[in-house]
Amino acid sequence: MAETEASSDSAAGMTLDAVRDALVRQEDTIIFYLIERAKFPINSPTYDESRASILGFGGSLVQFIVKETEAAQAKAGRFQNPEEHPFFPDVTPPSLVPPYDYPLVLHRAADFINVNDQIWDMYFKELLPLLTEPGDDGNYASTASSDLNCLQAISRRIHYGNFVAEVKFRDAPQDYEPAIRAQDRDALMKLLTFEAVEEMVKKRVEKKAKIFSQEVTLNSTESKGKYKINPSMVSRLYGEWIMPLTKHVEVEYLLRRLD
Amino acid sequence: MAETEASSDSAAGMTLDAVRDALVRQEDTIIFYLIERAKFPINSPTYDESRASILGFGGSLVQFIVKETEAAQAKAGRFQNPEEHPFFPDVTPPSLVPPYDYPLVLHRAADFINVNDQIWDMYFKELLPLLTEPGDDGNYASTASSDLNCLQAISRRIHYGNFVAEVKFRDAPQDYEPAIRAQDRDALMKLLTFEAVEEMVKKRVEKKAKIFSQEVTLNSTESKGKYKINPSMVSRLYGEWIMPLTKHVEVEYLLRRLD
């Protein structure tokens, strides 16, 4: 059994270090897309569901763009990758491409976890007003595509909690099994929480936001403290929403890990 | 006439400074998307047209993703903005949204200019082999969406040549009119070429690529010379392809500017 697990670990390259590297790399992606979304003002007609009847879409313009783009990506096989989760799973068409042999890492517990509804609400209700300036420049379609980039990057990061949980479980099943058998969410959440690590992540993403959103000129090497997005907002995004939702995914996964 | 032009300038906010600021900001966008594309290996099945019959698409997977995504964006009004140009104009559906009142800046000359075929060839034949590592990780749909982000950012930058040409023409029509009347491409190209400026742009994008593609850690403030993309490749992209194609757009625009 130990041998089987070791070989499947190596097939998947899925060590705790590899998981951490992936999460660190995903921070850059999230920050790049936030900077690109902040290029546009809030552009509120993008989110106005009462325009639906005018437009002939079944919902707001952003819902239309997300559904249509996800549908094309789904046909091209995007959601065959266990890292990817659609925002509109009920209308996601099946893949038309031959299946790719993704490494089998996760327990089937992951199949039941999709927190994109919570991510959607957080993004539009909490984050977007902090990220954007008021205003309307008419670029609703580009704005919605930019939102989709942010949503998908944040969703991938949060659902990566499945991999985090799996790797942590494999490393020390004896630590998790009692809480799983007792279906004790609080105990699992405690086991998965490392405040010092979370503080470090918040500091790192704030530093990244400063570096990536500075105005780079040839003459000065120092940014003049003028950033395209607010670095402390990125720290807050991680502290209040991304890390808690990732741990929520981890707990949900572990609760089913012995089924 | 001068007064009309002045007021239309101010309505559009379209000064040479504003155009330059837009071009500088677009450098960041292009570099972010290149970094994101470089996260995936080349993933050549994304570009294999001979897979078309298997997949039931009319072309390669990237053609499918670009066409479908552009179609959704077109319905949502993306190409009403004179800064945006589709890669598949022959199959681009009309907008379903009420027209937005974009400032009228350009002469109708711009309506005849779309160099996306050249951008497509440059991107896939020249740039992508320099940008990506060999390999296949199965993420063809995400790869294709990432390509679309790069293509659209590069296309917007190059077609911004229309605005560059318009603003330069308005600033000094007497300089351009003789060459336009003579339909002298070489003379126009000479008038539009400032080697010192081009060298500065190449240096700046290389510096941006270094800053944005470095690995940021909490402990060291200096990058250890390890970049996610090759900074000199970005300089070459600008020097060999983006700036020449932008000037090509400028020349094409000016040739029709007195029609």
The C-alpha angle with vertex A250 and arms to A249 and A251, in degrees rounded to 5, equals 90
pLDDT at residue number A222: 56
Distance CA B220, CA B44 (A): 37
CB A180 within 8 A of CB A254: yes
> What is the distance in angstroms between the Cα of A22 and the nearest Cα belonging to chain B?
11
ipTM of predicted complex: 0.94
Across B72-93, average pLDDT: 96
Higher model confidence: residue B58 or residue A163? A163
C-beta of residue A145 within 8 angstroms of C-beta of residue A64: no
**pLDDT for residue B33:** 98
pLDDT value at A43 more than 70: yes
Per-residue pLDDT of A222-245, as tens digits, reads 556 789 999 999 999 999 999 999
pLDDT at A23 > cutoff 90: yes
Contact of A223 with A207, CB cutoff 8 Å: no
A123 in B contact zone (CB under 8 Å): no
Q: Work out the mean pLDDT of chain A and round it to a whole number.
A: 92
pLDDT at A5 over 90: no
- Using DSSP's 3-state secondary structure scheme, residue A214 falls into strand
* Res. B54: pLDDT tops 90: no
Q: What is the mean pLDDT of chain B?
A: 92
Helix (H, G, I), strand (E, B) or coil at B227: strand
Residue A73's pLDDT is what?
A: 97
CA nearest to B81 within chain A = A139
Q: Tokens representing A244?
A: 């808690």
Collapse the DSSP code of A149 into the 3-class scheme (helix H, G, I; strand E, B; otherwise coil) and give the result: helix
Beta-bridge partner residues of B214? B227
Q: Which of B1-15, B16-30, B159-173, B207-221 has the lowest mean pLDDT?
A: B1-15
- CB distance from A194 to chain B under 8 Å? no
Domain boundaries, chain A: 3-256
**B259 touches B170 (CB < 8 A):** no
A81:B216 CB<8 A: no
pLDDT for A13 = 59
- Distance between CA A40 and CA B202 in Å, rounded? 26
Query: Which residues lie across from A214 on neighbouring strands?
Result: A227
B61 neighbourhood in chain A, CB within 8 Å? 76, 97
Query: How confident is the model at residue B53, as a pLDDT?
Result: 61
- The 10s digit of each residue's pLDDT in B92-118 is 999 999 899 999 999 999 999 999 999
Cα–Cα separations (whole angstroms), residue A25 to A208, B47, B219: 11, 26, 17
Instruction: Examine the pLDDT at A256 and tell me if it is beyond 90.
Output: yes
Q: What is the percent of chain B where pLDDT is above 70?
A: 92
Classify residue A227 by its DSSP letter: B
Please check whether residue B161 is in contact with residue B155, taking contact to mean a CB–CB distance below 8 angstroms: no
Are the CB atoms for A8 and A105 separated by under 8 Å? yes
Which pLDDT belongs to residue A3? 34
Instruction: Tell me if A211 and B216 make a contact (CB, 8 A cut-off).
Output: yes
* pLDDT tens digits, one per residue of B196-216: 999 999 999 999 999 999 999
Question: Which band of pLDDT confidence, cut at 50, 70 and 90, is reported for residue A9?
Answer: very low
CB-based contact, A145 to chain B, within 8 Å: yes
Give CA–CA dist A137/A128, Å, rounded. 16
What's the whole-number mean pLDDT along residues B242-246?
A: 98
Q: What is the pLDDT of residue B11?
A: 43
The rounded distance, in Å, linking the Cα atoms of B90 and B155 is: 17
Residue position matching structure tokens 């070989």: A7
Contact B209, B234 (CB under 8 A): yes
**Distance separating alpha carbons of residues A114 and A150, to the nearest angstrom:** 17
Amino acid in the structure at residue B76: A
Check whether A250 has a pLDDT greater than 60: yes
Buried b / exposed e across A106-123, counting CB within 10 Å, b at 16+?
bbebbeebbbbeebbebb
Count of beta carbons in the 10 Å neighbourhood of residue B207: 17
| B218·A203 Cβ contact <8 A | yes
**Site from B34, B142, B208 to mutate, A interface, most A CB atoms within 10 angstroms:** B142
- Work out the minimum CA distance from A99 to partner chain B, whole angstroms: 9
User: DSSP secondary-structure letter at A99?
Assistant: P
- The β-bridge partners of B167 are none
CATH number of A3-256: 1.10.590.10
Q: Which residues of B touch A68 (CB under 8 A)?
A: 68-69, 71-72, 75
Q: Residue B3 has what pLDDT? A: 34
Nearest CA in chain B to A221: B207
Q: Can you list the alpha helix ranges (DSSP code H) found in A160-230?
A: 161-171, 173-181, 185-192, 195-213
A56 vs A31, higher pLDDT: A31
Contact, B176 vs B191, CB < 8 A? yes
| Closest CA–CA distance from residue A247 to any residue of chain B (Å) | 23
pLDDT score, position B57: 73
Contact in structure between B138 and B40 (CB atoms under 8 Å) = no
Average pLDDT over residues A5-10: 40
**pLDDT for the residue numbered B52:** 64
The verdict on a CB contact (< 8 Å) between A78 and B204 is: no
Shortest CA distance to A140 belongs to which of A3, A249, A37, A22?
A37
Closest by CA to B159, choosing from B9, B7, B26, B69, is B26
First-to-last C-alpha distance (Å) of chain A: 17
Q: Is the pLDDT assigned to residue B148 strictly greater than 80?
A: yes
The number of residues making up chain B comes to 259
